[in-house]
Amino acid sequence: MLITLFMILWLVFGTMTAFMLLYKNSQNQQILGVTLSPAHAQTPEVQDIINRYKRICYLVFLLSVGISFLLLIKPFRNYAEFFLLILVIANLFGNWLVIQRYQGKLQELKEEKGWIYRRTRIVTVDINVTREKGKASISALWSWLFLLLSFIPALYLLFSPEARSLYPFGFSLIGPFCQLNMIFLYYHMRNSHTPALSENTEINKACARTLERIRTLSATLSGLAMLIFWFVFNFIILYARSGILIVLPPIILITFLLMIAYWQQKKIRDAEDYFLGTELRDESNLSEQENFYKWGCYYNPNDPRIFVPKRIEGMGWTINIAHPVGKAIGVGILVLVLAALIPVFYGGAKDYVIAENGSQITFDAAMYDLSVEKSQIVSMSIIEDLPKGTRTNGYGGANKSFGHFYLEGYGKCMLYVYNQVGKFIVLELEGDNPRYVIVNGKTPEETEALYQSIQGWLVE
């Protein structure tokens, strides 16, 4: 379990670092959200700031990875879930500070050099270009096909009761929901505005066709990556049942999405430079673009959209928290996150309470209490290792596991165990829902004492 936590942490840190490095690339004539002409962006002063920014990004990543090794120390490991959350928040905050610092340095350099562009942004539209919209894109049928294919795991669960015991049916609808987002992304990419800077309509049309194909191909490839992730993830859940392997699909997905985003950025820059290079280098065509991000969130009261593309085009969507509906969605997401995290942390901190009350024995754990009649218990034994299995509806932390599990050789079980003890009490019950209850104490000695206590209660 500890290895899995390390992999999750490092995946988060690596993803944030990759995002930070992508953000330094010129997008819509902006670097780190600061408007700069191509000529000014290539000056030694700007490149020096960008190089220092890259070094700090790597430093934040290495510091975060180094601090994560504190999980190997027992006092930190005992509160692994809390430590994980704090470390992720610290990493996000550190990266945000880096962006703010180097945005400020670029702004200071602009003021020092007198690089002032037009304050009014004029969006030029070529009517002949708008008539070409949608003609050069990759067919939308691919995105809709990926959506249909994403229902295969759900169909499999419908006809496989055994699989449903391992994998809740509602969980199988996450894949189709993600594919709907990919379709949303596809149509946004297809309808994205293309700059009409050339006086030659044919050049504008050629540029628009090329950019449309690049963007829609990027969205289609993102949908394919999401579909592959979903199939691999379901296969590992149903057949591999490995805590370590379960981290592999997200790593592959994030890697592919970052590669697609990088490829899209590069191809768009190359295309714009090829078709509109002269116009883009003309500072009279450049206008200042306000930075609408506050504390990492998009905030623009003059933008009527609720959902807007993220800072790096092709990396998905974010909400406009200046819009009333955007505020409501943001608060709702925050409440849902807290509602999900509070039980997790409470469960990670709360000790099990196992008590014998007359003819019943009760197992008290956060959200997964259980009472068992003495007459239901068929046998009791002690084992030294838990077999491999899958959590179907429960909690699995670095130190504790409780709730509903499916273990090889046992089937449906209720677990109330401390993972690192090396001794477990197995109560076999009548029926199969659950068939076994597995418990232990915080130490082998506590587990042995618990075993003697339950055994004495059984013979009373």
Higher pLDDT, 333 or 166: 333
Higher pLDDT, 54 or 306: 54
**Which tokens go with 407?**
């273990």
Owning domain of residue 43: 1-116
Where is the domain boundary, 256, 291, 326?
291
**Residue where the block lists tokens 């504790």:** 400
Question: Is there a single domain that holds both residue 216 and residue 283?
Answer: yes
Residue 64: pLDDT over 70: yes
Query: By mean pLDDT, which of 149-153, 187-191, 337-341 is the weakest?
Result: 337-341
| Over residues 256-269, mean pLDDT | 88
Question: Is there a single domain that holds both residue 49 and residue 71?
Answer: yes
How many other CB atoms are found less than 10 A from the CB of residue 274? 12
Question: Is there a single domain that holds both residue 156 and residue 83?
Answer: no
pTM above 0.75, yes or no: no
Nearest residue to 6 via CA among 59, 65, 91, 62:
65
Question: Is there a single domain that holds both residue 59 and residue 129?
Answer: no
CA distance linking residue 25 with residue 41, whole number of Å: 10
CA distance linking residue 109 with residue 51, whole number of Å: 15
Question: Is there a single domain that holds both residue 156 and residue 269?
Answer: yes
pLDDT of amino acid 291: 66
Strands 436-439, 424-429: pairing kind? antiparallel
Question: Is there a single domain that holds both residue 45 and residue 138?
Answer: no
Question: If you ran DSSP here, which 8-state letter would residue 70 be given?
Answer: G
Question: If you ran DSSP here, which 8-state letter would residue 307 be given?
Answer: E
CA distance linking residue 300 with residue 181, whole number of Å: 23
pLDDT of amino acid 316: 62
Backbone angles phi, psi at 399, to 5 degrees: -115, -25
| Inter-CA distances, 344 with 323, 370, 419, Å | 32, 18, 16
Question: Is there a single domain that holds both residue 260 and residue 382?
Answer: no
* Average pLDDT, rounded, for the chain: 83
pLDDT of amino acid 305: 72
Question: Is there a single domain that holds both residue 141 and residue 244?
Answer: yes
Residue 7 included in any domain: yes
| Inter-CA distances, 443 with 107, 190, 383, 450, Å | 59, 60, 14, 10
pLDDT of amino acid 189: 84
| Over residues 359-371, mean pLDDT | 86
Return the percentage of the chain with pLDDT > 90, whole number: 24
> DSSP string spanning 233-257?
HHHIIIII--TTGGGHHHHHHHHHH
Residue 104 included in any domain: yes
Where is the domain boundary, 98, 116, 134?
116
Residue-wise pLDDT tens digits, 68-122:
998 888 777 767 777 888 898 899 999 989 998 999 999 899 889 888 776 655 5
Nearest residue to 402 via CA among 5, 411, 393:
393
pLDDT of amino acid 387: 84
Residue-wise pLDDT tens digits, 38-49:
888 889 999 999
Residue 235 included in any domain: yes
CA distance linking residue 223 with residue 256, whole number of Å: 11
SS3 for 315? coil
Question: Is there a single domain that holds both residue 154 and residue 287?
Answer: yes
Residue 309 included in any domain: no
> DSSP string spanning 188-223?
HHHH-------S-HHHHHHHHHHHHHHHHHHHHHHH
**Residue where the block lists tokens 């009527």:** 304
CA distance linking residue 44 with residue 31, whole number of Å: 15
Which range in 51-60, 227-236, 261-270, 425-434 is most confidently predicted, on average pLDDT?
A: 51-60
Residue 201 included in any domain: yes
**Residue where the block lists tokens 């116009």:** 279
CA distance linking residue 416 with residue 371, whole number of Å: 13
SS3 for 199? coil
* Length of the chain (residues): 460
pLDDT of amino acid 223: 93
CA distance linking residue 60 with residue 452, whole number of Å: 51
Residue-wise pLDDT tens digits, 376-435:
989 999 998 888 877 777 777 777 888 888 888 888 889 999 888 889 999 999 877 788
Nearest residue to 279 via CA among 97, 452, 105, 126:
126
Residue 152 included in any domain: yes
The arrangement of strands across the sheet holding 424-429 comes to: 377-383, 424-429, 436-439, 411-418, 400-407, 389-396
CA distance linking residue 85 with residue 242, whole number of Å: 23
Q: How confident is the model at residue 279 (pLDDT cuts 50, 70, 90)?
A: low
Residue 27 included in any domain: yes
Nearest residue to 36 via CA among 109, 95, 97:
109
Where is the domain boundary, 269, 291, 313?
291
User: What burial class does residue 364 get, using C-beta atoms within 10 Å of its C-beta: 0-12 exposed, 13-18 middle, 19+ buried?
Assistant: middle
| Over residues 350-369, mean pLDDT | 84
Residue 299 included in any domain: no
How many other CB atoms are found less than 10 A from the CB of residue 287? 15
| Over residues 253-262, mean pLDDT | 88
- Number of structural domains (the chain) is 3
Residue-wise pLDDT tens digits, 429-459:
987 778 899 999 888 999 999 999 998 888 8
Residue 234: pLDDT over 90: no
Which range in 198-202, 220-224, 241-245, 400-404 is most confidently predicted, on average pLDDT?
A: 220-224
Question: Is there a single domain that holds both residue 51 and residue 180?
Answer: no
| Over residues 346-357, mean pLDDT | 78
CA distance linking residue 240 with residue 235, whole number of Å: 7
Q: How confident is the model at residue 150 (pLDDT cuts 50, 70, 90)?
A: very high
Residue 162: pLDDT over 60: yes
Helices (H), 282-365: 324-349
Residue 265: pLDDT over 80: yes
Residue 363: pLDDT over 80: yes
Residue 25: pLDDT over 70: yes
pLDDT of amino acid 415: 92
CA distance linking residue 71 with residue 35, whole number of Å: 42
Question: Is there a single domain that holds both residue 37 and residue 87?
Answer: yes
Question: Is there a single domain that holds both residue 55 and residue 135?
Answer: no
